[in-house]
Amino acid sequence: MYIHQLKNWPKFQWDEPAILPQLAAARHQQGRLLGKMEGIGFSLQEEATLQTLTQDVVKSSEIEGEILDAAQVRSSIARRLGMEIAGLTPSDRNVDGVVEMMLDATQSYQDPLSEDRLFGWHAALFPTGRSGMHKIAVGHWRNNSKEDPMQVVSGPMGREIVHYQAPDAELLASEMGRFIEWFNSNLSLDPVLKAGIAHLWFVTIHPFDDGNGRIARAIADMQLARADQTAQRFYSMSAQIRIERNRYYDMLEYTQKGTLDITEWLTWFLDCYGRALQSTDQTLAKVMAKARFWDNPATRAINERQRLMLNKLLESFEGKLTSSKWAKIAKCSQDTAGRDIQQLIKLGILAKEEGGGRNTSYTLREVREWAKSFSRGAPAKDDWDINRDR
């Protein structure tokens, strides 16, 4: 028996004395983070939001086994938020769809949730009407029969393990109506706690043929934006859930096969939320390093090709930078790539790595030296010390 089959579903219960200290600690962490971010200036807040949203979209898809191109995701977000960044790349419609859903959830977090809004998110996730090779019902609740129930399974064909079976399709209209009404009207519940409950409740109903996990996380992010009272995003729950994916799935299965006492689920969710807040150090370190890099007067003498390549190195460049990669990405000749690189070496921006000949590679000197300083716990005096409150 699953929790949605229990007599009092969905009257969730939890041990409030056990949860409240944990919730208070998480809210304290949240307040300190938001306070820090208020002091770093709008441009850095904007860059941190861009990095966080990119991470959120990429990692939420990774949880479901779908790998998105981070550069495409970043470009799609920047275009939709009107951010002027160098090196925007074209993005596929499946990337744009996930981005549209996430931005609608987090940037319009104060708008009520509705059936039509959820249908729009689902249609954005599956612009071709297919999940992989399979045609699915897009933009409306699933309509599977009792003979073909919605199940979460794993394992090889013929030896599948059923982890969960969702409510019958004929119940979805009433189930989702009740969920949406609760989400929009229950304002007395702490919004962080409500995010954890909403996540569990939605994914338990499992109203769509596919995409339920990503939409459940978008709903949780929408509620967390309400908790933050800002559309700016400085931490990623999806990135932390991706790290804890096995535990995440175990907790879902355990809870969905248990009772309506969801104390253990909320305990895990609040712990995960706290770890997500703590992990912002890495994102913010990259933001501060990038800001410090572009403050270097030497960067004012560079051309557009160099600006494009330096931004790629600062963000998510894969592998080593060579002159041939430069020429391919910047769409220029090998000789032009060589001149660009040599000028940056003279300016003290790039450094030649060990080795030579055809395999010569280059790295960013400024960020490399700052990163070494940061790892020793001694960033420059005028840098914002993101470890201050540890």
CATH code, domain carrying 255: 1.10.3290.10
Q: Is residue 221 part of a domain?
A: yes
Q: Is residue 63 part of a domain?
A: yes
Q: Is residue 286 part of a domain?
A: no
Q: Could you tell me if 176 and 267 lie in one domain?
A: yes
Known binder of ligand: residue 292?
A: no
Question: Minimal CA–CA distance to 198: which of 211, 186, 210?
Answer: 186
Dihedral sign for Cα 249, 281, 274, 31, please.
negative
Question: Minimal CA–CA distance to 219: which of 101, 384, 139, 67?
Answer: 101
* Residue pair 231/46 in contact by the 8 Å Cβ criterion: no
Q: What local confidence, expressed as pLDDT, does residue 316 receive? A: 64
Amino acid identity, position 213: G
Q: Could you tell me if 223 and 326 lie in one domain?
A: no
- Give me the catalytic one of 4, 122, 199, 206: 206
> What CA–CA distance (Å, rounded) separates 14 from 17?
9
Residues 6+ away with beta carbon under 8 Å from 30? 192, 227, 228, 277
Known binder of ligand: residue 136?
A: no
Question: Minimal CA–CA distance to 214: which of 122, 151, 295?
Answer: 122
Q: Could you tell me if 342 and 235 lie in one domain?
A: no
Q: Could you tell me if 131 and 268 lie in one domain?
A: yes
Known binder of ligand: residue 209?
A: no
Determine whether 238 is exposed, middle or buried from the number of CB atoms within 10 Å of its CB (0-12, 13-18, 19+). Answer: buried
Q: Which two tokens stand for residue 291?
A: 């800001």
* Residue pair 370/26 in contact by the 8 Å Cβ criterion: no
Residue 89: alpha-carbon gap to chain centroid? 19
> What CA–CA distance (Å, rounded) separates 29 from 25?
6
Q: Is residue 123 part of a domain?
A: yes
Active site residue 199: no
What's the maximum distance between 2 C-alpha atoms anywhere in the chain?
74
* Residue pair 185/221 in contact by the 8 Å Cβ criterion: no
Known binder of ligand: residue 311?
A: no
Q: What local confidence, expressed as pLDDT, does residue 157 receive? A: 78
> What CA–CA distance (Å, rounded) separates 386 from 280?
9
Q: Is residue 224 part of a domain?
A: yes
> What CA–CA distance (Å, rounded) separates 266 from 302?
51
Q: Is residue 384 part of a domain?
A: no
Q: Could you tell me if 258 and 308 lie in one domain?
A: no
Q: Is residue 383 part of a domain?
A: no
* Start-to-end C-alpha separation, the chain: 44
Q: What local confidence, expressed as pLDDT, does residue 357 receive? A: 60
Q: Could you tell me if 145 and 41 lie in one domain?
A: yes
Residues 6+ away with beta carbon under 8 Å from 156? none
* Residues in the chain, pLDDT under 70: 86-87, 316, 355-358, 366-390
* Residue pair 37/45 in contact by the 8 Å Cβ criterion: yes
Collapsing DSSP states into helix, strand and coil, what is residue 188?
coil
Q: Could you tell me if 84 and 179 lie in one domain?
A: yes
Q: What local confidence, expressed as pLDDT, does residue 376 receive? A: 44
Domain coverage including residue 323: 299-375
Q: What local confidence, expressed as pLDDT, does residue 71 receive? A: 87
159 DSSP 8-state letter: S
Q: From 278, 310, 337, give the residue that closes a domain.
A: 278
Known binder of ligand: residue 155?
A: no
Q: Is residue 336 part of a domain?
A: yes
Q: Could you tell me if 303 and 248 lie in one domain?
A: no
pLDDT by residue (tens digit) across 184-216? 997 889 999 999 999 999 999 999 999 999 999
pLDDT by residue (tens digit) across 71-123? 899 999 999 999 877 667 889 999 999 999 999 999 999 999 999 999 999 99
Collapsing DSSP states into helix, strand and coil, what is residue 73?
helix
Q: Could you tell me if 42 and 121 lie in one domain?
A: yes
Q: Could you tell me if 267 and 326 lie in one domain?
A: no
* Residue pair 362/350 in contact by the 8 Å Cβ criterion: yes
* Residue pair 87/311 in contact by the 8 Å Cβ criterion: yes
Known binder of ligand: residue 248?
A: yes
Residues 6+ away with beta carbon under 8 Å from 293? 299, 310, 314, 364, 366, 367, 370
The CATH code of the domain that includes 353 is 1.10.10.10
Known binder of ligand: residue 178?
A: no
Amino acid identity, position 267: T
Q: Rg (Cα) of the chain, in Å, rounded? A: 23
Q: What local confidence, expressed as pLDDT, does residue 115 receive? A: 97
> What CA–CA distance (Å, rounded) separates 268 from 253?
13
Q: Could you tell me if 309 and 271 lie in one domain?
A: no
Give the chain's domain count.
2
Q: Which two tokens stand for residue 123?
A: 């249609």
Q: Could you tell me if 336 and 269 lie in one domain?
A: no
Global pTM reads: 0.79
* Residue recorded with tokens 């990774």: 62
Known binder of ligand: residue 216?
A: yes
> Helix and strand tally (H, E) in the chain?
16, 6
Question: Minimal CA–CA distance to 201: which of 221, 182, 229, 184?
Answer: 182
